[in-house]
Amino acid sequence: MQELNEQIDLDRKILGKKPFDHGDDDPLSKGGRQKAQSLTDPESGQQSRDGKPDGFHYSEHRTVDSKNKVIVNVDIEPANINDVTLLPAILKEIENRLGYLPDYMGLDAGYHSAATAHLQEKNKIQGVIGYRRHTHAQEHYGKYRFHYDFEHDVYICPEKQYLYWRTTTREGYRQYFSDSKLCRNCPRRQECFSARASRRIVERHVWQDSLDDIILFTKTHNGKWLYNWRKQTIERSFAEAKENHGLRYARMLGIQNMREQCLLTAAVQNMKRLVKALFLCSFLCLIRQNPCFLLKTGVC
């Protein structure tokens, strides 16, 4: 948060504007406010996301090693907390436990944000993030129709007109404004913005460059391979926990009890993974000591 506020103040200084009085602002946790509270379990959070069940739930954030599928970190929070908010704490826990951070890290589309990309870049982690096109008013052009010119720091609309950076918001978004005089006679005006507005505004996060770099890497051959490998590890780990170990439902009330359930479930899964790894290691050592072992047992 301190880094984001410093970048916002620097932006506003460049534009000749006064800095914000940040106070207790927390724009990274936007969307994590409690709208309703459960009478049965007040510590749970109300979830309302596309493709997810509505109601009061808890969210488990799980990190899995890609080599042996060992769970290296588990974090439990109410379901109304934004996924991005927990990532700094997750990385700190992993580094404290293992003594290092990974060179590569694959995340699903829930973590698709500029803040996530900046955090990975800061920790020298090459990220691979699932793409998510953010929602917008269907009757008007989405942001993806506007091309960003990195060299001149401008957006170019479908009619080849420029949108210039004019201000930076408290949440860390640079706003690019079109020329109202040009928009007035534009043939695509009704398709671009509402009748009440006089010009088009496009927002770009101050850390968007970091996210663009991750998106480019994700589209490469190595990026695609890593993202597919992510689906074969973390998705299967969650599926196993739900199908075989009862993690599909919250068995107890309260966040501490849910942490107990999730940590014990992860411990059981890790025991299976470690036993398998030790068995394979012993098996390979036995083969080296006795090359005829496979022939004797008829495995070949």
Residue 143 pLDDT: 83
pLDDT, tens digit, for every residue of 177-229? 988 888 888 888 888 888 788 888 899 999 999 999 999 999 999 988 888 88
pLDDT score of 217: 92
Q: Give the number of other Cβ atoms within 10 Å of residue 212's Cβ.
A: 15
pLDDT in tens, 73-106: 888 888 788 878 888 889 999 999 889 898 999 8
Predicted pLDDT at 32:
47
Confidence (pLDDT) at 286: 62
What's the confidence (pLDDT) of residue 283?
Answer: 65
As a whole number, mean pLDDT of residues 247-269 equals 88
**Confidence at residue 206, expressed as pLDDT on a 0 to 100 scale:** 92
pLDDT over 80 (residue 247): yes
Look at residue 291 in the predicted model and tell me its pLDDT.
Answer: 53
pLDDT for residue 296: 41
Please report the pLDDT score of residue 293 as a whole number: 44
Give the pLDDT band of residue 176 (cuts 50, 70, 90). very high
Confidence of residue 234 (pLDDT cuts 50, 70, 90): confident
Tens-digit pLDDT profile for residues 11-49: 888 888 888 877 755 544 444 455 678 788 787 777 777
Statement: residue 136 has pLDDT above 60: no
Confidence grade of residue 173 (pLDDT, cut at 50, 70, 90): very high
Q: Mean pLDDT over residues 231-257, rounded?
A: 85
For 25, 203, 296, the CA distances from 198, given in Å and listed in that order, are 30, 16, 83
pLDDT at 5: 86
pLDDT tens digits, 52-69: 777 788 888 889 988 888
